[in-house]
Amino acid sequence: MAYKFVDGAPVKMTDEEETAFNERFNRGRNAGAVAQPVARSGGGGKGGKPSIDPRTDANQAIIQASQNDNSYGYYTNMGRYVPFSVDIRDGGGMNTSGNFFKGAGPLSTALNVAKVRPAGPASEKDASGNFIVPREQIGFRDTTDMGDRGGPQASGGQYEGAGTISTIFNMLDVLGGANIPERQEYVYDENGNFVPRKITLLGG
């Protein structure tokens, strides 16, 4: 009995699918290469592995390792594999996804200013064809967000998200002994409306 993964869930192969898989495996082995099973849900993971069942301790260890190995491509917490080609454009930086780009310096900044929607969860749509994540929550929320520290979708803390410019402003803070407000991520209510938060100075 063989299984394949479809959208992260194990599904029993038909006899024809299992036969075809075995033939591909044997051809790769005979050619001197170690063939690995390929998931129907979107490609093999690191080491050629398909999406995996996250309910076992062994696979949880694989998932955690993939999210902390300093290379693009990772398993989500649900065991679905996200390949390099998606990881570099799904926002959030390496080995994660998010509503804004991170980790590519000026390129990330430009994409966030332009409010380019990352691939992955940020691009998912509901049954009506509307994006689940509203445009306001993509990249920098607005011009205020670009200057209120904290990077995209946050305020307070150190300056982030503008590369060298952020570094210069943070250095000026240190030299000038600035009172830096606590970093807080932006909050939206159940209807997607922005909820302003009280600014708290660090150590205050």
pLDDT at 37: 37
CA–CA dist 147, 159 (Å, integer): 8
**pTM (2 d.p.):** 0.67
CA–CA dist 4, 16 (Å, integer): 13
Pairing verdict, β 81-82 and 194-195: unpaired
- The tokens describing 148, both together, are 């209120």
For tokens 């309910």, what's the residue? 55
Mean pLDDT, residues 167-196: 91
Phi and psi torsions of 53, nearest 5°: -80, 115
Mean pLDDT, residues 22-43: 44
What is the rounded average pLDDT for all residues in the chain? 81
pLDDT-derived band at 200, boundaries 50, 70, 90: low
Q: What is the pLDDT of residues 39-68, one digit of tens each?
A: 333 344 455 567 899 999 999 999 999 999
pLDDT-derived band at 4, boundaries 50, 70, 90: low
CA–CA dist 95, 87 (Å, integer): 7
Mean pLDDT, residues 135-154: 94
Across 91-197, the runs of DSSP E, i.e. the strands, are 154-155, 184-185, 187-188, 194-195
pLDDT at 50: 77
Q: What is the pLDDT of residues 55-104, one digit of tens each?
A: 999 999 999 999 999 999 999 999 999 999 999 999 999 999 999 999 88
Residue 90 Cα distances to 76, 138, 154, 181, 182, angstroms = 12, 12, 19, 30, 28
Would you kindly state where each structural domain of the chain is located, as residue ranges? 1-83
Which amino acid is located at 41 in the chain? S
3-state secondary structure of 81: strand
Asked whether the CA dihedral 124, 130, 134, 138 is positive or negative, the reply is: positive
pLDDT-derived band at 161, boundaries 50, 70, 90: confident
Mean pLDDT, residues 168-197: 90
- Least confident among 11-20, 49-58, 142-151, 163-172: 11-20
Is the pLDDT score of 36 beyond 60? Answer: no
Percent of the chain past pLDDT 70, that is, above it, reads 73
3-state secondary structure of 176: helix
CA 195 to chain centre: 24
Q: How many CB atoms lie within 10 A of CB 201?
A: 11
pLDDT at 30: 45
